[in-house]
Chains A and B, each alone.
Chain A
């Protein structure tokens, strides 16, 4: 059903007239031209499309627009504060925790969501927190190290 959906996207108010059954992923990538959020599987199995909704890591390919109204949506494009990268972004760069980079936005958003609940995670907790995000290049080792580094950096918050 067509509906006007109002929400906050990367800190700015957005009002869209859309079919509210459409998934957030396609609205972000097409209507809003924010292509940092990736399609990887379309069924919530790979995590490439992860965004934050009210601070929680969510699969945008499984999130209909009707559930987005009134929420705060953050995508990879909105994670940094201007030129200052989020500690997770900074740590991914510093650890070279990426290769082809396609899964990276979803990994970073998942990690950001995870760290907000687990400020002092063990390696095992990081592993389980990232478990349902897939990477094919095999950057896993460095991603875990990056998330651990980001956790330390974020002691003072971001």
Chain B
């Protein structure tokens, strides 16, 4: 009872907040015709409580103004994934207006309704139905107004390019802008408007170039570190050598001599502030600090044993039949262990924020994927109430899950509070590596069997620390169990010596590497072509279709691996999208070097809103995925991170680029699914399988470095 009472009180408080909130939105948004609507499911009460409660009955709105422009206010952010284009396409199409007339207003916590954050390939997937419905509904409202204005029944009206006209007298017309003139109309979406059929699309499902292209090629796009305010100072903060280090003493005497410097020393926060960032850096170099660092417990080579010892709380995520029965009935059983090291996000834009505090209110421009969480973190840091913090998200220079932790924004706000000046904190590349919440190191063990006919008969899958996304298999295996240990990828605590977090398709890269490698092992055991083997053990139509189309596009000729041709296959599902890839590699057996020559990738993401944008996301996934597959891993000793820059942390370069061919299995009547992540999940497995096909040696650990390939070749000889 008490609990219910608590929730009721909470709900009442939410309603109240909402009323204030909505007035604020309207005030900020100005007049015109405003339509409030809900995208996806509204956050649960608990999530709202955590977020200090925002609107309960809408989480996005659009506004039509007298200049004929339509602004859509959403809490999402643009970090390169292209929603500034794809979301606007949906809206423009449903509204029968030009794509150019849509303005996306995103990531501003004062202007936009609450949002959890931009991740999980969710923006298009979760926005699609509601955004389209909102557009359709706004069109109905405008038709109604036009009907009054023109004194013509709505049924006799048509709309083109934001102009409503009488079907029989096209010159009898009125524009959206004219209809909005001098009005202040507020509606809530009823969800009753009928969205367009596929055959009626004009803008959706056609390719559009990025709407932010021109400003990005002319250097006009503003990122957080590009914000400038009068009197601002640039801060450089004293950093420990290791996450385990404790500051013992600090000497700021020499740094204080640097002209115009402001030194802040508040507890463990020590920073040099200057009107020039490079002079702040110079002043920081004059600060002498002594740290105590405990002895190192483990490093990147010994971390896997450490993790297995620390693993607890296995949770069964999928189960079919009886695994013991399956094992007993198998004609051949193979047990494998797959390892994956820590990976950095390494977005080209390091974390940055500019904070200013005026009249008790903090405004912070931050590179963040979750501005509303960022706002709460800043409020906590400053001891401010949440209403007195505004986070504005300019364009973000790449996120990949790495910009959900907003230390830099809290630091900038705190230093602005302490110095009384606007303060920018922009990470150096070394800080970017040091404070990254890495994709966690992980272990997967698989015991699997085939029966006398060569069909999959048993599958026992344990994943430690990668998370359970993508852990469950999609094959027809009568007896199987999938267990995830320590499934959460987030957290500064726990067995990892530093923070870990979501990295483009969290968990799924590791899980797909393990599963698809093991499936290939079983195919070889059965003496069957790897695609044929997958199809024999799979009934899922969508997965079969993407796999079959990929084989067709590649020109696959069936052969048992290793065929010495160096071609491999993998398939998987992420963000609702089944995806398959085939890669061709060249392996230099003397050096162990792997060169990926060609990748063919096919996915089924339902309705493709912007085919050009979706293709770019697939190409990006394939290219970025070469890194975690072939070279990227974070070396560390305890809490000390050895990677400081791109000289040692090797990300994909132009010379690595294979020939990339992409295609979609089109299902335009199905709702759109995720597109920003699916293709990347295959890159570890598809390359491992192609390497095996080339040289008959299997690498069980990512990345597939030359040393590991050579080691695998030597094992084969023995």
Contacts and interface: CB of A to CB of B under 8 A. Distances in A.
Interface in A34-90: 34-43, 45-46, 48, 75-77, 79-80, 85, 89-90
Nearest to A90: B217
A136 B123 CA distance: 21
Contact of A36 (B220, B228, B426): B220
Given A105-B219, A141-B660, A45 B646 contact: yes
A72 B14 CA distance: 59
B657 A101 contact: no
Interface in B424-457: 426, 428-429
A57 to B, nearest CB: 15
A13 interface: no
Dominant SS among interface residues on chain B:
loop
B620 A26 contact: no
Contact of A138 (B350, B429, B622, B647): B622
Contacts of B347: 100, 102, 136
Nearest to A129: B654
A9 interface: no
Interface in B196-253: 209-210, 212-214, 216-223, 225-226, 228, 234
Interface residues on B, range: 35 or more
Q: From B217, B219, B226, B348, name the one whose CB has the most chain A CB atoms within 10 angstroms.
A: B217
Given A30-B277, A138-B622, A96 B218 contact: no
Nearest to B207: A96
Contacts of A137: 80, 348, 398, 620, 624
A101 B209 contact: no
Contacts of B279: 19, 22
Interface in A121-148: 126-128, 130-144
A82 B616 CA distance: 30
Given A102-B223, A137-B624, A96 B645 contact: no
Contact of B616 (A29, A40, A41, A142): A142
B189 interface: no
A39 B350 contact: yes
Interface string B378-398: 000000000000000001111
A134 B212 CA distance: 20
Contact of A131 (B234, B398, B653): B653
A39 B223 CA distance: 11
Contact of B213 (A31, A80, A98, A138): A98
A22 B279 CA distance: 9
A104 to B, nearest CB: 5
Contact of B349 (A93, A96, A100, A138): A100
Given A96-B210, A134-B651, A39 B426 contact: yes
Contact of A141 (B81, B396, B619): B619
A138 B652 contact: yes
Contact of A99 (B80, B214, B652, B654): B80
B655 interface: yes
Q: From A29, A39, A76, A85, name the one whose CB has the most chain B CB atoms within 10 angstroms.
A: A39
Contact of A35 (B209, B222, B654): B222
B655 A128 contact: yes
B657 A30 contact: no
Contact of A93 (B209, B278, B652): B209
Contacts of B79: 100
A136 B645 contact: no
A108 interface: yes
Contacts of B223: 38, 102
B276 interface: yes
A38 B225 CA distance: 9
B36 interface: no
B278 A22 contact: yes
Contacts of A96: 209-210, 213, 612-613, 616
A76 B218 contact: yes
A155 interface: no
Interface in B610-646: 612-613, 616, 619-624, 645-646
B400 interface: yes
A44 to B, nearest CB: 10
B619 A136 contact: no
A24 to B, nearest CB: 11
A45 B429 CA distance: 11
Identify the 5 closest CB pairs spanning chains A and B, nearest first. Answer: A36-B219, A100-B80, A102-B397, A138-B623, A99-B80
Given A26-B277, A101-B216, A104-B217, 18 more contacts: A22-B278, A30-B276, A35-B228, A36-B219, A38-B397, A40-B348, A42-B429, A45-B645, A45-B646, A100-B347, A100-B399, A103-B348, A127-B657, A131-B655, A138-B621, A138-B652, A140-B654, A144-B657
22 contacts: A19-B279, A38-B348, A41-B646, A43-B647, A46-B646, A75-B219, A76-B217, A85-B214, A89-B218, A92-B213, A96-B210, A96-B213, A96-B616, A100-B397, A100-B398, A100-B399, A102-B223, A103-B348, A127-B657, A131-B654, A136-B398, A137-B398
